[in-house]
Each structure stands twice: as C-alpha cells, then as structure tokens.
C-alpha cells in the first residue's frame, strides 16, 4: 500500500492505494476528471525525491507527492 498526497491548490485528501509503479498511480488518478488537468503538469516526488519517469517502481509504504507548478516573485 502506498500513499499519494496532493500539495498546493489541488485540494484532494491523501489517498492510499495499491500500486507497483508510477504508471499505476497515473492510470488511477486519470479516472478522476478533476485530476486529469493536474497529472500532466505536476512534478512528482517519491519519498521526497523528485522523479521524472513513470517507470519508477514503488514498494509498500512509499509516499508519492504531486507538486503542481507555482509561480511568483
């Protein structure tokens, strides 16, 4: 079981799910219409380390964080 947390303006509660890779997480999140707009633009971290590939494997207890783009000065 992994947890998925949504940071910033996404406004979703933390999810727990079974997933073996970020591909699984993305597939499940795309089923939610609200998440569809965020999936393509968010940075993703696994256990506080940014990752760039959906091929990233996950193990029980991992925490996936979705970090939406921000702007400011």
| Mean pLDDT in residue range 20-41 | 86
CA nearest 35: which of 61, 63, 64, 68? Answer: 68
3-state DSSP assignment of residue 43: strand
* In contact, 14 and 63? CB cutoff 8 Å: no
Q: Is the pLDDT of residue 72 over 70?
A: no
Q: What is the average pLDDT score of the chain?
A: 89
Q: Is the pLDDT of residue 39 over 80?
A: no
Is 2-67 a domain of CATH 3.10.20.30? yes
Q: Is the pLDDT of residue 34 over 80?
A: no
3-state DSSP assignment of residue 60: coil
């Amino acid at each position: 079981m992994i947890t998925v947390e949504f940071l910033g303006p996404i406004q979703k509660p933390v999810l727990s799910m079974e997933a073996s890779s970020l591909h699984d997480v993305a597939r499940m999140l795309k089923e939610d219409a609200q998440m569809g707009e965020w999936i393509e633009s968010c940075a993703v971290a696994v256990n506080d380390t940014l990752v760039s590939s959906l091929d990233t494997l996950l193990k029980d207890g991992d925490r996936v964080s979705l970090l939406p783009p921000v702007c400011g000065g």
